[in-house]
Structure 1
Amino acid sequence: MYDQSKLSELIRFSRIDAGSTVIDVYPGDGDWTRLFSDVVGPQGRVYSFVPAEVADFKNDPVGRMQTFAKEPGRENVEAVTADLVAMPEVTQPADVLWLHLFYHDLHTALIQKKGATAANFNRAVYEQLKPGGSYVIVDHAAAAGAGISDTQSLHRIDPDSVREEVEAAGFVLEAESAILANNDDSHSIKVFDPSIQGETDRFAYRFVKP
């Protein structure tokens, strides 16, 4: 997670407020689900969505989020799972869909093993967001012009490719943030390498459904 100032800025950037309905895709350890639960409050809703493509991981991502959703005060959280592109079948129309360090995985063999593609996932997001809703993507930046060539090897993606793919689904880029930028990142190192892990150059986009 980031320091408090960056967390606050990312929440503001994402337009998540009290009463919002948020879909947190691939919640990992649940840190973002927890934060969103606190922000949206009792009148809001957070869907902690674990794609079926990763549900069999040894750390039991579905079970962990189901346990979290049963904690006192987390009545606004629902842990759900389905194939990635079936996300609309297990969630309700949302104000915000949050995708943190995961968009690049749409171009990897792991996520595509059940037939998911970036194009059909983006269409599913468009279907499930309310008019005016926000699709927020934070990811590791690849070198300019790299396109999707580094998604499998380095777990990075060219921001321009993300914008092109998401806009093709009908979204409009409303805002971008450089709060997580790191100009010292060479973009040539795998994101898990100890020399750069946690400090990669990251971009943040907020797209809106017209």
Structure 2
Amino acid sequence: MYDQSKLSELIRFARIDAGATVIDVYPGDGDWTRVFSEIVGPEGRVDSFVPAEVAHFKNDPLGLMRRLAKEPGRDNVEAVSADLVAMPQVTRPADVLWLHLFYHDLHTALIQARGATAADFNRAVYERLKPGGCYVIVDHAAALGAGTSEAQSLHRIEPASVRKEVEAAGFVLDAESTLLANKDDPHTIKVFDPAIKGKTDRFVYRFVKP
């Protein structure tokens, strides 16, 4: 997670408010799901969506989210799972879909093994968001010109490629933020390398469904 000032700015940027419905895609340990649960309050909802493509991981991602949903005060959270492209079938119409450090994975063999593509997923997001809803993407930046070629090897993706793919699904880029930018990131090493882990150059996009 980020320090409090960056966390607050990201929440503001994502337009997540009390009463909102949020889909948290591939929630990991659930840190963001907990944050969103607190913000949207009893009138809001958080669908913590675990893609079936990763549900088999040893840490039992879906089980983690089901246990989180049973924590005191988490009545507004529901753990759900399906293939990525079937996400609209198990989630509620949403005001915000949050995708944190995962978009690049849409271009990896693991995610594509069950037939999902970035284009398919973006169309699924478009279907599930309400008109005016926000699709917020935070990811590790690849070098200029890299496109999607380093998604598998370095877990990075060029921001321009993401924008092109998401806009092709019908979304409009509404805003971008340099809050998580790091000019000292060489963009040539894997994001898990100790030299850069937790400090990668990250882009933040907010797309809107017209």
TM-score (norm 1): 1.00
The structural deviation recorded for 1:53 is 0.3
How many equivalent pairs are there?
210
Paired position in structure 2 for 1:45? 45
**Partners in 2 of 1:144 and 1:128 — Cα distance?**
31
The structural deviation recorded for 1:51 is 0.1
- Secondary structure at 2:156's aligned position in 1? coil
- Secondary structure at 1:54's aligned position in 2? coil
**Partners in 2 of 1:113 and 1:5 — Cα distance?**
38
Encode CA deviations 1:17-45: one digit per residue, 9 max, x unaligned.
00000000000010000000000000000
Paired position in structure 2 for 1:100? 100
**Partners in 2 of 1:4 and 1:40 — Cα distance?**
18
**Partners in 1 of 2:144 and 2:173 — Cα distance?**
18
Paired position in structure 2 for 1:180? 180
**Partners in 2 of 1:86 and 1:199 — Cα distance?**
33
- Secondary structure at 2:184's aligned position in 1? coil
- Secondary structure at 2:22's aligned position in 1? strand
- 1:202 aligns to 2:202 (yes or no): yes
The structural deviation recorded for 1:205 is 0.0
**Gap runs ≥5 in structure 1:** none
**Partners in 1 of 2:146 and 2:69 — Cα distance?**
39
- Counterpart AA for 1:66: R
- Secondary structure at 1:17's aligned position in 2? coil
Provide the identity percentage.
81
Paired position in structure 2 for 1:189? 189
- Secondary structure at 2:68's aligned position in 1? helix
- Counterpart AA for 2:71: E
- Off by >3 Å, runs of 4+ in structure 1: none
Q: CA RMSD in A?
A: 0.3
Encode CA deviations 1:21-76: one digit per residue, 9 max, x unaligned.
00000000100000000000000000000000000000000001000101111000
Equivalent runs, 1:63-78 vs 2, <5 Å: 63-78=63-78
Equivalent runs, 1:131-150 vs 2, <5 Å: 131-150=131-150
Paired position in structure 2 for 1:167? 167
**Gap runs ≥5 in structure 2:** none
**Partners in 1 of 2:46 and 2:141 — Cα distance?**
27
Paired position in structure 2 for 1:58? 58
- Counterpart AA for 1:196: I
**Partners in 2 of 1:65 and 1:167 — Cα distance?**
31
Encode CA deviations 1:64-113: one digit per residue, 9 max, x unaligned.
10001011110000000000110000001000000000000000000001
- Counterpart AA for 1:44: G
**Partners in 1 of 2:144 and 2:20 — Cα distance?**
35
**Partners in 2 of 1:72 and 1:147 — Cα distance?**
43
**Partners in 1 of 2:72 and 2:39 — Cα distance?**
16
**Partners in 2 of 1:76 and 1:143 — Cα distance?**
39
